[in-house]
Structure 1
């Protein structure tokens, strides 16, 4: 889609986005969906993850959701194994979980 700009097309790529149920994660999901990426969404909040997935599906892309607690190493390993078995190899990772917008901790009172 970006041949003149030199940017890589992500149409058809398999993209895993962590923290997909949050505000910033949802923005990432929708931008990747607009570019035609197939999406794997991870979040610890199943309902929020599903709401994000529905918005992406409305844009016509394939979406799979997984409830994953990224604070638990085994949860990550188990989910990664399921994704490989059920969807395939991920080509793009957006590691967004735990990222919060706002002032830096040092700037807060």
Structure 2
């Protein structure tokens, strides 16, 4: 449901290619630290996690399940989270979703 075809299923079009332009609903996972964590610690964690995400055995194993592993910077993650919160908040509001 992302904006790119999966390497494991190159013949299956994206939803945008199938007629739903702008549809992008990727899953993502992140390692978060408490507010106020020293920048050096955040950078160290980011550097180490980038190595994990690039490990060939992990890339192969999760890739065989359709996952695309991508590392990012703390700033890129913050921007993506901000964008996703705004996007899904709009979807919830427009659909008049209510919690029980």
Using the size of structure 1 for normalisation, the TM-score is 0.28
Structure with the greater alpha carbon radius of gyration: 2
Q: Whose strand proportion is higher, 1 or 2?
A: 1
Using the size of structure 2 for normalisation, the TM-score is 0.30
Higher relative contact order, structure no. (Cα contacts within 8 Å, ≥ 6 residues apart):
1
